[in-house]
Amino acid sequence: MSEMILERCGSTASMIHPEWTYGRDSTYECRVLLCPEPEGGFSVHAIRLPGVVSEGDTESEALENIADAFRSAFQSYLEGGSEIPWCDEKIDRPESSKERWILVDV
C-alpha cells in the first residue's frame, strides 16, 4: 500500500497519491504542480488540465486557489455539456517543484 500525505486546505485537501481517479459523486482528485517563485509565494499548475493555473503567498493558499480554478473550469465544462479535456502532455517541472493531489468538490 502506498503512503498518502493528506493536507487540509479549507474545504480542499491535497495529497500525494499514486494515480489519478475520479472521486465519488461530484468530487475529483486532481494532480497539480506546486512551484516556489523566486520573488516569494507559489504558483500552481494543473498537470492534466491545460490553462488551469493559480498562485498564493503560501502553499496552502496556492492549493486552495487552484481548487477554486478547477471548480470553475469543471462547472463551465459540465454546465456546457462538454467533456473535461484532460491531457497527457509532459510539462516542465522545475527542480524545486512538488507534485500534489487535491480533492475538489464541484
Q: Which whole number is the average pLDDT over 35-43?
A: 96
**Residue 79 cell numbers, joined:** 454546465
pTM: 0.72
Per the structure, the count of domains in the chain is 1
Give the separation between CA 12 and CA 36, rounded to whole angstroms. Answer: 20
Domain encompassing residue 11: 5-105
CATH of the domain at 70: 3.30.160.250
Give the separation between CA 55 and CA 65, rounded to whole angstroms. Answer: 7
Q: What percent of the chain has pLDDT over 70?
A: 76
Q: Which whole number is the average pLDDT over 12-21?
A: 40
Q: What is the mean pLDDT of the chain?
A: 78
In tens, the pLDDT along 65-82 reads 999 999 999 889 888 888
Which one-letter DSSP state was computed for residue 71?
Answer: H
In tens, the pLDDT along 19-34 reads 444 445 678 888 899 9
